[in-house]
Copies of this chain bind each other. A is one copy, B any other.
Amino acid sequence: MTSSDNARFGVGLLGHGTVGGAFHRLLEERADAVAARTGRRPHVVGVLTRSQGDFEEILAASQTIVELIGGIEPARTYVLRAIEAGRHVVTANKQLLSQHGDEVFEAARKRGVQVRFEAAVAGVIPAIRVISESLAGAYIERVHGIVNGTTNYVLTEMARTGATYAQALAAAQRLGYAEADPTEDVSGKDAAAKMAILARLAFNARVGLEDVRYEGIERITPDDIAYARELGLSLKLIGSAERIDDGLAVMVYPAFLYADHPLASVDGAFNAVTIESPAITEITLSGPGAGGIQTASAVLGDVVSTMLPAGAQPPPPRAVKLVEDVEFSFYLHLEVADRPGVLARIADVLGRNEVSIKSVVQRGLGDDARLVMVVHPVLESRFRSAVAEIARLDVVRGDPRVIRVIEETFEAPGAT
């Protein structure tokens, strides 16, 4: 450890696959910003893979060890050794934590170091932090999650297209949403490991993978989904962990959800977790499932947390230029005279102001008509001046009505 150099923070990276590589790049890209936030610049002191790197050397040079090897060994040995050496550990390893969590957490507790693992469950969704920190004082009654993106993608495709399970799985494999061997995902075992981790945190109970009953989606038929729709239900692979009297039930199973359930509308490769408690009612966290860059982002958040003292205040804010004129898509509602050529005149004004129409609905009302349109994104000032010009046309009655329109800008990771 370069204790003489307080301005740097050494990160040892174990594993350099998809997530490891993405994390390495992201750390370099964000190092300056992290330095501004924490006062120390994080840098990768060494990378351990099967063919390169020396674990003890990397350990000696690092303050936090990031374990992205996956699986039980050698990850378990490295993690325990890092803890023993007084290093914080950040890991995305759901197998390790769901099968050897007791050992790892106990070691960290004794040594007084942090073990953070946001990326082990539900990718970038901050379920771990919210359950273990925001809700550290809460009585949690139940956690429901869609914690496997592959199965949610397959079920969504079956519902959308009427495809069979085999067809939808093949499509998911072609698009990179499912592995060549999808057994861990489709059997529910991957979700079971994640639910064991969530249950342990939510209920402070000794729950391991072996305690979770799980079923997968392999036997779901298009018929089930079609009937479900008829009954107003949607089908998801649900992980649930809940208190039952003085015990706990932790399970993974395909389930139909009523349309008003917060997880019912979580589609495609997205993940989501709903936490229920009498005092909070329910909180739902949703976002893309684990892609390389999303998982890397969760790992980075954890690394930054190991760099900060508890509740560290952010640095002084920077002054910033406030922008008032922004591009939006707009809805425009006009009352107009119902006679030929009106739409053409309005379209002409919009066109001269470089406002482009996306959709339009016209409806007669006796002498008057209503013209309702949505325009493509345009600078607000430009649109307002076009509308002012339209308002002066003799065919326009009353004041034009304008409302902004927001389009969804992001797609699920990997979607084309």
Contact = CB atoms under 8 A, between A and B. Distances in A.
A249 B322 contact: yes
Interface in A127-148: 129-130, 132-139, 144
A261 B329 CA distance: 14
Contacts of A315: 109, 204
A328 to B, nearest CB: 8
A134 B138 contact: no
Contact of A137 (B33, B138, B281): B33
Contact of A372 (B129, B227, B238, B291): B227
Listed from nearest, the 7 A-B pairs whose CB atoms lie closest are A114-B311, A247-B321, A205-B320, A310-B310, A283-B287, A279-B297, A126-B134
A216 to B, nearest CB: 12
Interface residues of A, number: 131
B130 A204 contact: no
Nearest to A313: B109
A190 interface: no
A255 B404 contact: yes
A1 interface: no
Interface stretch (A167-175, A341-349, A406-414): A406-414
Contacts of A407: 258, 261
B322 A311 contact: no
A109 B315 CA distance: 8
A248 interface: yes
A298 B300 CA distance: 25
Contacts of A246: 321
A242 B138 CA distance: 33
Contacts of A411: 281
B310 A255 contact: no
A313 B233 contact: no
A181 interface: no
Nearest to A136: B304
Nearest to A284: B286
Contacts of A245: 323
A26 B309 contact: no
Contacts of A310: 114, 305-306, 308-311
Most buried by B among A38, A227, A372: A227
